[in-house]
Amino acid sequence: MTFPLFDLSGSRALVTGSSQGIGLALARGLAQHGASIVLNGRDEARLAGAATALKNEGHGAIDVADFDVTDAEAVRRGVDAIEEGIGAIDILINNAGTQFRAPLEDFPADRWEQLLKTNISSVFYVGQAVARHMIGRGRGKIINIASVQSELARPGIAPYTATKGAVKNLTRGMCADWARYGLQINAIAPGYFKTPLNQALVDSTEFSSWLEKRTPAGRWGNVEELVGAAVYLSARASSFVNGHTLYVDGGITTSL
């Protein structure tokens, strides 16, 4: 049985930061719904391993692009190379991100700059480069990965919170500028998921206990639970959804 509103056959998705964690899970999920996938990351070996894993699962249309999403010129060249050498990008998932934890009064300036480049500048660079092609075709889907920290703050991660708040508002701005050209630009805001980026927190009995009490669902999320939101926002089912941030967080943003 097929569900045309959620069928991604014939579409191509570029997923940044997709050699592991949330990015790889979303790439796999879109592939399972028929999309061709272009994986992106800076670690060539890990990227190649992710591509091999997807192909071994039976997903044949898997390509890789190892450009640096924090370098505007590298992004432009990389996106143009995909468009010219692989094919049109119909779906972009801006997933690349990083984290660093420290008290705000001691937060290193170089880590601040790294967070800005990786978490927000990359969304602007890749979004702009891809949108330039999408605008000419009159269609396209862009999904930015935000966070519960787009709404909430927690000690030790104020700069990360600032970048994810910016992702939410950049998503709105992209909608305001590009919806008129037939593009849908939305964001997914994950709660606390078991990923390599969160491994230190997952391994902390104290933090996990706090999180389970704080989250109405009472547990960590699994990355596969983000796939449904990504497929929906990538498919025809969301054709009039624009500038929206969809929280997938076990209810943590709804309850004190």
Tens digit of each residue's pLDDT (9 = 90 or more) over 156-179: 999 999 999 999 999 999 999 999
Catalytic residue of the set 160, 192, 232, 247: 160
Percent share of the chain, pLDDT over 90: 94
- Cβ atoms of 237 and 138 within 8 Å: the answer is no
- DSSP code per residue over 210-224: HHHHHSTT-S-B-GG
Amino acid in position 96? A
Token duo for residue 220: 């960590």
Residue-level pLDDT at 198:
87
Written in H, E and C, the secondary structure of 43-58 is CHHHHHHHHHHHHHCC
Does this model's pTM top 0.85? Answer: yes
Q: Which residue's entry shows tokens 């143009």? A: 80
- DSSP code per residue over 182-194: TEEEEEEEE-SB-
Residue-level pLDDT at 60:
85
| Measured distance CA(183)–CA(80) in Å, rounded | 19
Confidence of residue 1 (pLDDT cuts 50, 70, 90): low
Domain ranges of the chain: 4-249
pLDDT tens digits, 11-37: 999 999 999 999 999 999 999 999 999
Residue-level pLDDT at 164:
98
**Structural fold of domain 4-249:** Rossmann fold (3.40.50)
Specify whether 160 is catalytic.
yes
Residue-level pLDDT at 138:
98
Residue-level pLDDT at 100:
93
| Measured distance CA(95)–CA(145) in Å, rounded | 5
